[in-house]
Amino acid sequence: MIDNPLQVSKDAVDLTKMKMLGAAMNSMYKTMRFYTVVLAVLKKDFDYNGGSLGTDGKNLFIDPNFIAGESEESLILKLAQAEEEFKMTFQGANFSQKKLNEYLERKRIWFSRKSILEIAFTLCHEARHIIGETILRSKSYDKKFFKYINIASDYQINNRLCYEMFKGDIEKMYREVPLTRCLYVSNKYFKIEKGDYIEWTMEEILEDLLKKYKEDFSEYSLLDEHIEIDDGSAEHMKHILISSSRNGMGGDVPMDIKKQIEEWTEPKIIWHKYLDKNIKANMKYDFDYSVPCESSWSDSIVLRDLGYLSDNSYVINPSESDGNMLEVVVVFDTSGSIFCDDQLVRTLCGELCGIVSQFQNSKVHIMCFDTKIHNYQVFDNMNVFDIKDYQLSGGGGSDIKGLIPFMEENSIPKKNVVVFTDLYISIDWAVYKDFKNLTWVVFNNKRATIPYGFKINY
């Protein structure tokens, strides 16, 4: 073991954080400043002998020997032990000298002193575990899958960092951060298309790994240890991230984390839950005695048996008025600019069906528009479940001006109207002034503002 690994590792971590700030300032690695903000608030425990790093979601545990590396003599001894273990594991047809050489090279990298860039990578890796609440999310799985959960989260994080630091060039990352050759990185779980990053979630990667349950990961190392998390830690980190993003301390925030912060500060409203709640809040239930409620007969019998009514007396409960009908109007924008396909519409209509089926007397008006109104259909309690089979039509330009005249011609009420659109349309807002309970479910246009109605970003 080298002399005083604790001091060496502390100095190396401090120097790394300074270098990370410098790299962010000269635009070499733009997101490094963000990670230094996160790392600054973490308690760092160097009295840890887990073999590498670890986190409990709030604290950062660092094994000094991992950072400082082994002495030359110790390294030779460990490599000899690794070779023997490999030969015991891969005997006969499974053994190859090439595979052994690659394995020993990874072990040599793992046990050697870490460079500044390797330390930066591992610190960012731990920061991402904490930010993404990966340890907390893993609690919902059986403990027998613990190793695979760790691998899945490492896959996601390492691929993210590969994209941020090396634009997705795995070979370049292997050259500049040799430690990553010991870790889980795969082109399968990310790709770059027109500058956009498309990723698999930890849960999706885990599901994919479990399909290959017999796959052998013994050649690779787990970068860190996931220690049981204190649930309050995630909330603590959430406040730090929101604060740093608002005051600009975080510099260039990684794209997925920026989206995560937006979800915390501007939570999405689920349109069908909002509509369900809002309709019920605005429904006026009218009752009259012209047609007694069906419960009147059974209530009269029970009260006679209990002696509260004579044989010639009756209980008359009022029934719900026939005029008390729930009517909902659904309008789909099928112009060329909006992503609104048949699968999405089936999902939306299925959720709508669940809302209206709760009411005894309901009617749903559904139509599409581009520059004209298309495929107008009406559903009631007799065929409400057919809503899910509604088909889109249209696909031309974007002009909703024909909606109001069409509604008037067909006696469609101006209440409980839900319009699915991207709002890139020609529209006269004044005509919506007298609508009641008007909801705009807007796709991919967060900046759009509406003077009348309620907007929900889908």
Q: Which of 204-213, 246-255, 413-422, 428-437 shows the lowest per-residue confidence on average (mean pLDDT)?
A: 246-255
Handedness of CA 277, 278, 282, 286 (dihedral sign): negative
Higher pLDDT, 395 or 363: 363
Please list, in sequence order, all residues whose beta carbon lies within 8 angstroms of the beta carbon of residue 33, skipping any fewer than 6 positions away.
20, 21, 24, 25, 250, 251, 252
Residue-by-residue DSSP string for 308-345: SS-TT----PPEEPTT--EEEEEEEE-STTS---HHHH
- Angle, helices 116-131/146-166, rounded to nearest 10 degrees: 120
- Is residue 97's pLDDT more than 50? yes
pLDDT tens for each residue of 330-383: 998 887 655 455 666 777 777 777 777 767 677 889 998 888 899 999 988 788
pLDDT tens for each residue of 3-25: 667 787 777 777 776 676 666 55
Per-residue pLDDT at 196: 60
Highest mean pLDDT among 169-183, 263-277, 345-359, 431-445: 169-183
Taking residues 154-170, what's their average pLDDT? Answer: 87
- Is residue 409's pLDDT more than 90? yes
Q: Calculate Rg over the CA atoms of the chain.
A: 31
- Is residue 57's pLDDT more than 80? no
pLDDT above 70 coverage of the chain, percent: 70
Between CA 191 and CA 188 the distance in angstroms is 8
Looking at residue 92, its amino acid is G
Q: Is the pTM of this model over 0.75?
A: no
Domains assigned to the chain: 5-69+113-265 (no CATH), 271-278+321-457 (3.40.50.410), 287-320 (no CATH)
**H and E: helices and strands count for the chain:** 16, 14
